[in-house]
Amino acid sequence: PPAGPSKKRSQPEDDVDMAGNDTATAKDGGASGLCAPAFRRGRTAGNGNAAPTTLGGMQNSDEFGLNFPLPWEEKRGSGASTACIVKLYDQDVDALRVCDTVEILGILCMHAEMANLCPSSGEVLGEDARSPSHSLVPRLHAISIRKLPFFHPLLPFTPDWLSEARLAAPYQANLSAPGAHAAARSAAVAQLARGLGGDMLATEYVLMMLASRSFAKHGDKPLGAWSLNLARWPQGVDVSSFGQAVSELVPRAVLLPLNTQSLNTQKWRPVKDYQANRLVAGQLQLAHGTVLILDETGLAEGQVTAPGVKSLTAVGTLVTDHHLACDFAAYDVKIPVELSCILVSNGKSIVKLVDTVVPVQFEAPPAQGESCPLGAARFLLGMITRSTKVLNIPEAVAAQISDDFAKIREMLQEVPSELCHTWMALARASCFSHGEDELTLERWNSVMQLEKQRLGRCKLQGVL
């Protein structure tokens, strides 16, 4: 007998909403920049086959581009990064947000009639930026979605599954041998010191930054997250060596120049394009857990335009408030995002209210490459940042912290009251990097020695 009509709902091609709604929900992986790449020196890829034609004023796919947050990611045909439109169903429709990192299991859909392998003619299906060619941007029908915050390739598991008990097993296998934990930490210190000219004080603070993670909130303020300004960077020393040293230890590190020209001309924050109904990516749109290094050493006198002022404001909002400001024309939508922000400057950073300022003192020129095998150091940092557990602080140590903070405020009137929150973040990162779950007086005193050296440098060089 003839087969009856299929009851399966068809999936029309025009139901793709690449920007989500006005609450900045990312319904399409290709338009939301879900994952940030590893560190690369910034260069803008040229678009050799851009077509000048538009359809009724609408940009076509070539003109719009692949909408990656970082412009040098757009290398068409080289396979460096692939944009993808992901079609979501049922409860997954509103599951994703901008800056999420996700793993998707789905069915790849290719329509030959939408491939558009010929040169742009202005009359071919797929010219509309909202429905790019399938050969350029494949479609994926999602069956299963896993969110992977602070994704690390050595621990590719969800937070719900990766409990403290399950984390203990790989720790025992990799770092439980006598001296293994200390050796892993020493390898990380040696690697960072190469990029910081042998400055061990700055090295310790950068390591604590890489080991930090927000573990709770006090009101709207995330506890455990802080920002770092490496001030007094030597003139003529390239920051890329430091960026390369960091990128050898973490899976995602991005170096962005922060100067008058970049503020005026580059896309820093996402902007809603109402005509194309999608969110145009900005280079601050990075995955949670990315180490963002902002290079201010190229700052010079110049006029910052109105868009440049908005870009600088967006940078400040990200660094100090830990929110990504998305421009929706009449208003901004602020999305919580957790990045490790390091600002490198010749003087004090132009971003106000940075939590910690460390004037650097180079003892030797920075070097690139690996100082020693870094596998254990990478695993150690991955273990620390995958956990959001709270540091145990005994009452005696808490009383000592209170006394030390009162003494510092008496000695240095410039010290802000928020410094105590930063101290807690530093103590947590220092303890976990040494394999300790409880803050002892010995560990607290070592953190205070670092703080006294840092504050002494700041006072001497006038950057408090």
Q: pLDDT of the chain along its 464 residues, tens only? A: 444 444 444 444 444 443 334 433 333 333 333 333 334 333 333 333 333 333 345 555 556 667 889 878 776 555 567 888 899 998 888 888 889 999 999 999 877 665 555 554 444 444 556 677 777 788 899 999 988 888 888 888 887 787 777 878 888 888 889 999 999 999 999 999 999 999 999 999 999 999 999 988 877 788 899 999 999 999 989 999 999 999 999 999 999 999 999 999 999 999 998 887 888 999 999 999 999 999 999 998 889 999 999 999 999 999 999 999 999 988 899 999 999 999 999 999 999 999 999 999 998 877 766 667 899 999 999 999 988 889 999 999 999 999 999 988 888 877 788 888 999 999 999 999 999 999 999 999 999 999 999 999 998 998 87
Task: Please spell the DSSP secondary structure of 357-403, one letter per residue.
Answer: EEE---SS----S-SS--HHHHHHHHHHHH--PPPB--HHHHHHHHH
Adjacent-strand bridge partners of 222: 217
Q: Do the Cβ atoms of 233 and 346 come closer than 8 Å? A: yes
- Rounded CA separation 292/95 (Å): 26
What local confidence, expressed as pLDDT, does residue 64 receive? 62
Contacts of 395 (CB under 8 A, 6+ apart): none
**Cα atoms found within 13 Å of the Cα of residue 155, Cβ hemisphere only:** 29
- Rounded CA separation 81/65 (Å): 13
Max intra-chain CA distance, the chain: 93
CA dihedral 314, 318, 324, 326 (to 10 degrees): -10
Q: Do the Cβ atoms of 271 and 324 come closer than 8 Å? A: no
- Which H helix or E strand runs over 446? helix 441-461
* Phi, psi dihedral angles at 307 (to 5 degrees): -60, -35
| pTM for the predicted model, two decimal places | 0.82
